[in-house]
A and B are shown apart, each in its own frame.
Chain A
Amino acid sequence: MKKISLSLFFLLALVSCQRLDQNLYNLEVITAYKLDAYEGDQDFVLGNDYNIPDSLILKFSVNSQAPDESTPTRIEAIYIGDVNQIATDTVILYCHGNYKHMDFYWQRAKLLAHTGGKMRYGVLMFDYRGYGLSQGTPSEAGMYADADACMQWLRDHGLTSERLVVYGFSLGSAPATELSAHPRSLRPSKLMLEAPFASAEALVTDGGQLNMPASYFTNLEIDNAEEIKAVQQPFFIIHGTNDQSHNIETHGKLILQHYQGVYSESHWIEGAGHSTVPVTTRFSEYNRILHEFISQH
């Protein structure tokens, strides 16, 4: 019995408290945002037709405070459009993916700003804490707080819930879905997801084939497939059939199946990978289907 007790004690002493979570965020250190002058790798680069006048680009920061924080964290954001028109415009809040920072997603934000015509909608993009020049370290709760802080900023500038559209790409599907299902400062009127993932659990079982719990690898509890059940707003999903990161069957289509709201539309882009949905769709068509959804539903 003594030997067994000693063995158990030794075993428990060996169990480390390390987690993989902080290794999951794909960060790059930068000293300034370069936007069009950014020379790092990008999914695509738009032509000059998509340029945004400097007068319609506002870089700013907001304070974000997660529930477990005693002090706020400074979050960097960019608004594309006329700030003075926020009180009357429809605005797309863009929640980007896990890779790098806003410079990498600048082309995507510009493309969104051309939905329905040049500058038809305002676009707000931000870096989650720990990404780009935003302070702090990444966390699930922090990500939600950061998105909500941007909603607060929009609300303070006159935006109302019925004119807020939230768009989440990849990792951004988590804050977009969470804040649509459980609104905080504003209740988005529409939810749009591109190449989302169903949950941490689904990623693990996809990778391992075995029925393995996500808790073996991460403390993240992101579960878009469950959260979507609480979303009543009109829902748009676009996903590539050749997505090598988030299998369309076990992620995109599963989320759509779980949606129980008033209206949904899905676009499965044949041959598109995780990062190539806008390119494969073609920019003009991509803008067209986005605008059709936003304007008609």
Chain B
Amino acid sequence: MKQVFFCVVIFVLSMLFTQCAPSRMVKPLEEKQHAITANVGGPLIGFAGTVIPVPFTALGYGYGLRANTTIFANLHTTSLLYGVIQTDLGVCRNFKTWDNGLAISSNLVANLSVDKWQGNFRFWPQLDVNVYKPFHEKKSFWYAGFDSWYELARYRAHDYRQPVHVFLNPHAGLQWGKKTHWSYQFETKWLIPYIKNTPNQIKYKAPGGNGAIGIYFGVTYRFAPKSQEVHSTTQAY
């Protein structure tokens, strides 16, 4: 890599700012249940002779508003390190559950960010759709779906017309837990697979040179819902 101005840092952080987290909430919490989450991960890049996921991190909180509706908020801690307060506030709703346990849910999310340097504010709406199937006595589930970001601005720097307004990222993942409050998440997604990842100094790893493959890990701690605290039982998902 030669004569690269802003190369690695800018491109990694900016291109993948949008995709620095796994799907926020796939299966809604139980009513009045609280949960906290932490996750790390990002797109795979070639770095120092090996392939690594960019380690974006975030902390989150969720609350079961109703049996099928959960609200959540996340704070992007990597951005915070650099003076950018980035949060996503959203609601997860379960739309349908079939007899075999298969279910479909959706997240509607507001991504908000502002920097402490110039106070530049941005808002990007996000829509996620997931199909999930519980197993292991409903303590774990796999899921697949997509998340999508929407750029509302018509123009960007220098009145250059914004070329892409919809950023669609298909993904699949697994969340598993045992008889504890803890559960763990693994997700992989193909970030904007319909956009070439060149010209770019970063060597993104993706089929056909399109977008980037992302890998994410998460951990969730679910507090026992109040209705269950009385009976001293726990739910692991």
Contacts and interface: CB of A to CB of B under 8 A. Distances in A.
Interface of A: 11, 14-20, 23-24, 26, 41, 43, 97-99, 169-171, 197-205, 207-219, 225-226, 242-247, 250, 254, 258, 274-275
A215 B13 CA distance: 12
Given A198-B158, A209-B164, A213-B122, A204 B85 contact: no
A182 B222 CA distance: 60
Contact of A245 (B17, B113, B199): B199
Contacts of B117: 215, 219
A15 B122 contact: no
Contact of B75 (A11, A200, A244, A247): A11
Contact of A16 (B6, B81, B118): B81
Please report whether the interface of chain B is mostly helix, strand, loop or mixed according to DSSP. mixed
15 contacts: A14-B77, A17-B116, A24-B9, A26-B3, A98-B5, A199-B158, A203-B10, A204-B14, A215-B117, A216-B113, A217-B14, A218-B10, A225-B157, A250-B160, A258-B158
Nearest to B118: A215
A26 B4 contact: yes
A15 B80 contact: yes
B15 A213 contact: no
Contacts, number: 160
Contacts of B120: 213, 215-216
A275 B3 contact: yes
Interface stretch (B22-30, B88-96, B148-156): B148-156
B7 interface: yes
Given A203-B10, A205-B156, A274-B2, A213 B115 contact: yes
Contacts of A254: 158, 160
A17 B122 CA distance: 20
